């Protein structure tokens, strides 16, 4: 593989990792969303543990559910477009003749959708954090830090800063 080919492969791999990271926080709110029924149940189960660790009240659970359900319709078309563009990219990468410019253009499209999802995730995370008490926010930050130290992904809706 040439130097440019390795760079393209690295970019694609990086985008895939970024997409999976962002979707992990969004998908559980979509009751399976893009990841299918099994994925949705798994992520929903993990959020149940997260709710317990934070000690969310019934009112907070209802508010969180409303936030995430409203977000579902917002991200649905973006995820659909992202899927389409990823399939297009895969086709370009698997072609007999490699069109580097087309691969770069398709990768840029994917990056745009990923940026939209990341901004959305930050907004939804801010809405979620707004319903938490200061104690719950501190717990959430602590849980996130512990997961990062272990190298695990979090089920938190969005990062805390």
pTM, to two decimals:
0.61
Q: What is the DSSP letter of 33?
A: G
Q: Is the dihedral of CA 94, 99, 103, 109 positive or negative?
A: negative
> Shortest CA distance to 9 belongs to which of 97, 90, 70, 120?
90
pLDDT single digits (tens) 23-72: 444 443 343 344 443 344 444 446 778 788 888 999 999 999 999 899 98
> Shortest CA distance to 131 belongs to which of 45, 42, 67, 46?
67
Sequence ranges of the domains in the chain: 3-150
* Cα 157 from chain centre: 9
Mean pLDDT score, 109-130: 93
d(CA 34, CA 158): 18
- With cut-offs at 50, 70 and 90, classify the pLDDT of residue 159: very low
Q: How many CA atoms lie within 13 A of 152 on its CB side?
A: 10
Looking at the chain, the whole-number percentage of residues with pLDDT higher than 70 is 65
DSSP reduced 3-state for 159: coil
- With cut-offs at 50, 70 and 90, classify the pLDDT of residue 123: very high
Lowest-confidence region among 7-21, 49-63, 114-128, 145-159: 7-21
Burial (CB count within 10 angstroms: exposed 0-12, middle 13-18, buried 19+), residue 4: exposed
d(CA 12, CA 18): 10
Q: What pLDDT does residue 24 have?
A: 41
């Amino acid at each position: 593989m040439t130097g440019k080919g390795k760079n393209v492969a690295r970019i694609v791999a990086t985008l895939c990792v970024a997409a999976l990271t962002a979707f992990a926080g969004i998908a559980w709110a979509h009751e399976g969303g893009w990841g299918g029924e099994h994925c949705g149940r798994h992520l929903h189960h993990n959020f149940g543990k997260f709710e317990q660790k934070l000690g969310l009240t019934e009112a907070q659970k209802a508010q969180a559910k409303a936030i995430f359900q409203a977000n579902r319709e917002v991200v649905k078309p973006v995820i659909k477009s992202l899927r389409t563009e990823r399939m297009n990219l895969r086709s370009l990468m698997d072609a007999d003749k490699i069109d580097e410019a087309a691969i770069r253009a398709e990768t840029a499209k994917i990056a745009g959708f990923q940026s939209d999802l990341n901004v959305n995730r930050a907004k939804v995370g801010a809405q979620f954090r707004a319903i938490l008490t200061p104690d719950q926010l501190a717990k959430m930050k602590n849980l996130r830090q512990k997961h990062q130290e272990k190298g695990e992904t979090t089920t938190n809706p969005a990062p805390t800063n």
